[in-house]
């Protein structure tokens, strides 16, 4: 039951990770488009200046969102490593238990043969 629970956690983490990667890609595209627009606009016109200021503000927000995505990815990687370590430990325990059971069964068979 624990292994199934851990597997579900991993699947959820993978989904969140792909979602963050997709968000990062979209933000990068939006930033690139905003930079192109910024370079194409004329800075002499008053209404254009207002637009440029809003665009620059939006670009800052996009950059902050990009930083947040990076932080989430870093936390996700750390969580993945911890989960991987926990799963390895659990697998090692399971393997040790199985090996002990096999050894015990082998010894029981030997004892039965000796009794005969």
Residue with tokens 């399971």: 94
pLDDT value for 46: 75
pLDDT value for 103: 92
> Domain limits at 51?
2-115
pLDDT value for 13: 66
Distances from the Cα of 112 to the Cαs of 100, 104, 105, 106, 107, in angstroms? 18, 12, 11, 10, 9
Count of domains for the chain:
1
User: Is the distance from CB of 34 to CB of 73 less than 8 angstroms?
Assistant: no
- Ordered mean pLDDT values, 10 residues apiece, the chain (116 residues): 64 69 85 86 75 87 87 82 85 89 90 78
pLDDT value for 15: 65
pLDDT value for 101: 92
pTM of the entire predicted model: 0.54
pLDDT value for 17: 66
Angle between helices 2-40 and 46-115 (to 10 degrees): 160
pLDDT value for 84: 84
Nearest alpha carbon to residue 35 among 27, 25, 45 = 27
């Amino acid at each position: 039951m624990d292994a199934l629970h851990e597997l579900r956690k991993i699947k959820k983490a993978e989904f969140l990770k792909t979602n963050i990667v997709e968000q990062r890609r979209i933000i990068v595209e939006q930033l690139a488009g905003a930079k192109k627009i910024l370079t194409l606009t004329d800075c002499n016109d008053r209404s254009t200046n207002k637009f440029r200021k809003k665009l620059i503000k939006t670009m800052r927000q996009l950059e902050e969102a990009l930083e947040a995505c990076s932080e989430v990815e870093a936390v996700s990687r750390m969580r993945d490593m911890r989960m991987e370590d926990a799963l390895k430990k659990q697998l090692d325990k399971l393997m040790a238990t199985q090996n002990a059971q096999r050894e015990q069964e082998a010894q029981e068979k030997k004892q039965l043969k000796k009794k005969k």
